[in-house]
Structure 1
Amino acid sequence: MTGTTSTRDADFTAVLNLPATPAAVAALFTSAAGVSRWWGPTEGDGAVGGTLVTGFGEHGANAMRVLESGPDRVVWESIAPDGAVPTGHTREWLGTRMEFDIAPADGGTELRFRHAGLTPRLDCWDACVDAWRHFMASIETLAETGTGTPFGT
């Protein structure tokens, strides 16, 4: 995995080269069951216009409105969870976008991830970068072994 950028205005990004088909990688972001395999227990609808809510136990929940849900690009917008306690960083994440670009590469898939709006200017930057690194590694482990390391495992 390539790491993060370090300028004050740069979004968190990661590039993963995964030993899985683009369809298998896209499935990790287009359904609650897929997201649950690498991020944490998730409920909701992964189709465009749907909402996915991922729980982090005592830390609260993240909610994402699905803006795009295709085989080569998935985009979520962070929103306040309805009827659930938000995570501590929800206020800073509101309106930010998680972008997953998926492309065939060398017998597998290249995943380009960008959390647009998650920059070093935010108070949660260090903690959020650490968490995203963990969950990007979870995606890698899932692609390599069939089992990720989502929250709660």
Structure 2
Amino acid sequence: MSHTLSQSDTSVQPDYHARIFVPVSADLARRAIFDQMTDWWSHRVDRTKDGATVYFGNSHVRFVFEGKDQLHWRCVDAHMIIDGVPDTEEWQGTQLIWSIEETQDGTHIALTHKGLTDHLACHDVCCRGWQTYFETSLKAHLSGGTPTPETR
């Protein structure tokens, strides 16, 4: 597992970016990301053909899946209740960009949260959230471990 911040221009704040390796096919990895969100991200997910709403307690985020492969998820609605973060809609307009690359031994999955920079008040909390749900829980789900989805 590697956690890095992508930055192509030093004047631009880096977006959250992390990459994991899992011992499964790209097809199984894709199915976990799209169809098994309740197993690794949150027990409360409303999935539609072209998007999903993910709930965390009284918070939620709604994504529209874009592109022919649907690996770009645009946040079209956000209501995040986070202590010390007055703007509950910070995620709105940000994007999740997934990359799934199969190798001989398994699959690399990369996640970039475009717009999740240190300019957002939720940056630290949200990066820790991705460390929990993407870097740890999804990896465990696909590696035979015990995932830790949100249960509120």
Q: What TM-score does the superposition give when structure 2 sets the normalisation length?
A: 0.83
Structure 1 position 69, deviation (Å): 6.2
Amino acid at match of 1:37: D
Q: Verify: 1:10 aligned to 2:7, yes or no.
A: no
SS of 2:89 mapped into structure 1: helix
From 99, 102, 105, the counterpart of 2:100: 102
Distance in 2 (CA, whole Å) between partners of 1:69 and 1:148 is 29
Amino acid at match of 1:62: V
Structure 1 position 17, deviation (Å): 0.7
Length, aligned pairs only: 141
Q: What TM-score does the superposition give when structure 1 sets the normalisation length?
A: 0.82
Map of 1:80 onto structure 2:
77
Structure 1, residues 86-144: CA drift from partner, whole Å, max 9, x if none? 22365111111001110112410000110011011111110001101001210110011
Structure 1: segments with no counterpart, 5+ residues: none
Gap change, CA 1:39 and 1:103, over 3 Å in 2: same
Map of 2:116 onto structure 1:
118
Structure 1 position 4, deviation (Å): 3.1
Structure 1 position 30, deviation (Å): 2.4
Gap change, CA 1:104 and 1:6, over 3 Å in 2: closer
Map of 2:38 onto structure 1:
36
Q: Give identity over the alignment, percent.
A: 23
Structure 2: segments with no counterpart, 5+ residues: 82-86
Map of 1:54 onto structure 2:
54
SS of 1:122 mapped into structure 2: coil
SS of 1:115 mapped into structure 2: strand
Map of 2:84 onto structure 1:
none
Distance in 1 (CA, whole Å) between partners of 2:137 and 2:68 is 21
RMSD: 2.1
Map of 1:128 onto structure 2:
126
Check whether the contact 2:5–2:18 (CA below 8 A) recurs between aligned residues: no
Q: Which structure dedicates a bigger proportion of its chain to strand?
A: 2
Map of 2:29 onto structure 1:
25
Structure 1 position 28, deviation (Å): 1.9
SS of 2:71 mapped into structure 1: strand
Structure 1 position 147, deviation (Å): 4.2
Runs ≥4 in structure 1, deviation > 6 angstroms?
Answer: none
